Amino acid sequence: MSSNHRTESQALAQADLLSREHCLQLDAQDPLAACRERFTLPAGVIYLDGNSLGAMPAAVPARMRQAIEQEWAVGLIRSWNDADWYPAPQRVGARIAELIGASGSEVIVADSTSVNLFKLLVAALRMRPGRQTILGENGNFPTDAYVAAGVAELTGVQHRAVAPDEVLAALNEDVAVLTLTHVNYKSGQVYDMAAITRRAHEVGALVIWDLAHTAGAMPCELNACEADFAVGCGYKYLNGGPGAPSFAFVATRHQAALRQPITGWHGHATPFAFGQTYTPAPGIDRMLVGTAPQMGLFSLEAALSAFDDVDLQQLRAKSLSLTSLFIALVDQQLSGHGFGLATPRNPALRGSQVSLTHEQGYAIVQALIARGVIGDFRAPDILRFGFAALYLSHADVWDAVTTLKDVMDRRSWATPEFMARKAVT
Ligand SMILES: Cc1ncc(COP(=O)(O)O)c(C=O)c1O
Ligand SMILES: Nc1c(O)cccc1C(=O)C[C@H](N)C(=O)O
């Protein structure tokens, strides 16, 4: 943690610039302020959980009504052709490619993130025969570790997880594939994609990046970093809705050799020839397995229109402005309440979330939700707040921290109701 960054936010706080009026001035100069209208959010809610389930884009309901009431109810099976259902995985993939620094023919939408990770891990191992290790990181999102361990068991290689700051040193010529999440789901810390990919390639390893907390939250440059493979969620910062399908990226140079293990008919070169042997489709299409979840795809496609004409550098600048403001306000208003900061102060190392620590974190998050400020809790002590730059304002950040201060001052978290854990959070 650099002392420069601490001094910066303390100076901000001490200069007494941090008033609601100042936040409103920042909002008045925000080039993305109008994007808020592209979302439907309930009145009285400040939504800081877009890193788990994105808010609903206003374009989605009409698209879903059309898909259900016209294309399905009236068009029936004809809609696979007439309504362009069939090419939706490629079409939506090409739109996501623009957000992650890939070309349109390198990204496809299919299945869940977990399933795409499985397919790419097996494919990567097949490209590095003789190597015995899948390298991962401690503290990754559990599904990434579970899937890597499952693939290791299936293929007979070892899965080795190391601390994030030991990844570079752990790369050696036994590593077939390195699998990392670009922005950590708990801390919000960002890896240096270019440097890690370069080092992995020096030892002959491939890299799979999980972009679940990157895509739509901040720009990333897969091709400029010479990335091999990536996966990411459709339902977080891309706002595709609950269970919206995920995406997979395969760099053009790897596509011809890629052999993924779930050889379903939609990944076949000629699915409607109904032949009895499997021939993979050319290009990214071979990542497909079975029939795509069309309703989730349509929802995701409509949701992506919220990014139309959005300059990703402006998105990044606003995201950092929101997260820096949140940190500065927590420093200013919540000292003495027992909070720690689990996210880097250095903006260059931060995704689009801020995580605080507190021993009563679960109950505090429940008390905040009851007051309309929706974040989430990750055990053992993390209060997680996601800042989706398209629909949040600086005034929202002010109001959220003011509510948190009130919850702490009044100890309104200290009730049996808020302290009792729920199953899904
Ligand atoms: C980093 C990361 N990877 C993967 C997933 C899981 O993705 P899916 O539910 O699409 O399998 C999540 C969250 O659910 C996540 O945070
Ligand atoms: N996918 C989720 C779900 O089905 C229910 C509750 C939460 C989720 C999430 O996405 C969690 C999320 N990946 C996280 O970063 O914690």
In the chain, where the domains are located: 3-30+311-419, 61-307
The residue-averaged pLDDT of 20-42 equals 97
* Span 194-252, pLDDT tens digits: 999 999 999 999 999 999 999 999 999 999 999 999 999 999 999 999 999 999 999 99
User: Which residue type, as a one-letter code, is found at position 224?
Assistant: A
384 is an active site residue: yes
What's the pLDDT at 2?
42
Protein residue with least CA distance to atom 10, ligand 2: 52
Which two tokens mark 9? 């936010």
Long-range contacts of 171-175 (CB under 8 A, 24+ apart): 171/135, 171/199, 171/200, 171/202, 171/203, 171/205, 172/203, 173/131, 173/203, 173/204, 174/131, 174/132, 174/133, 175/131, 175/133, 175/134, 175/135, 175/200, 175/203, 175/205
Protein residue with least CA distance to atom 2, ligand 2: 52
404's enclosing H/E stretch is helix 394-410
* Span 104-163, pLDDT tens digits: 999 999 999 999 999 999 999 999 999 999 999 999 999 999 999 999 999 999 999 999
Q: Please state, in angstroms and rounded to a whole number, the distance separating the CA atoms of residues 420 and 173.
A: 49
pLDDT score of 425 more than 80 = no
pTM (2 d.p.)? 0.95
Q: Please state, in angstroms and rounded to a whole number, the distance separating the CA atoms of residues 189 and 182.
A: 8
ipTM of the complex: 0.95
Q: Which is it for the CA torsion 363, 366, 372, 376, positive or negative?
A: positive
Of the candidates 63, 131, 186, 236, the residue annotated as catalytic is 236
CA 133 to chain CA centroid, Å, is: 26
pLDDT score of 6 more than 80 = no
* Span 281-339, pLDDT tens digits: 999 999 999 999 999 999 999 999 999 999 999 999 999 999 999 999 999 999 999 99
pLDDT score of 356 more than 50 = yes
For domain 61-307, give its CATH number from 3.20.20.70, 1.10.3720.10, 3.10.20.30, 3.40.640.10.
Answer: 3.40.640.10
311 is an active site residue: no
- In percent, the amount of the chain with pLDDT more than 90 equals 94
User: Which residue type, as a one-letter code, is found at position 111?
Assistant: D
Q: For ligand 1, is residue 181 a contact (CB within 6 Å)?
A: yes
235 is an active site residue: yes
pLDDT confidence tier of residue 16, bands split at 50, 70 and 90:
low
The residue-averaged pLDDT of 396-409 equals 98
Ligand 1 atom nearest 115 alpha carbon: 11
Which two tokens mark 91? 């079409």
- In percent, the amount of the chain with pLDDT more than 70 equals 96
Q: For ligand 1, is residue 114 a contact (CB within 6 Å)?
A: yes
Ligand 2 atom nearest 185 alpha carbon: 15
Q: How far is the CA of 114 from the centre of ligand 1 (A)?
A: 7
pLDDT score of 9 more than 80 = no
Contact call for residues 147 and 189 (beta carbons, < 8 A): no
pLDDT score of 15 more than 70 = no
The residue-averaged pLDDT of 361-375 equals 98
Mention every residue, 6+ apart, whose C-beta is less than 8 A from residue 19: none
The residue-averaged pLDDT of 381-385 equals 97
Which residue has 């002010």 as its token pair? 398
Which two tokens mark 396? 């929202």
Residue 134: name the closest of 166, 106, 174 by CA: 174
What's the pLDDT at 53?
98
Q: How far is the CA of 49 from the centre of ligand 2 (A)?
A: 10
Which residue has 């809609």 as its token pair? 79
Q: Which is it for the CA torsion 248, 253, 259, 263, positive or negative?
A: positive
What's the pLDDT at 421?
82
pLDDT score of 36 more than 80 = yes
What's the pLDDT at 5?
55
Q: For ligand 2, is residue 377 a contact (CB within 6 Å)?
A: no
CATH code: domain 3-30+311-419 is 3.90.1150.10
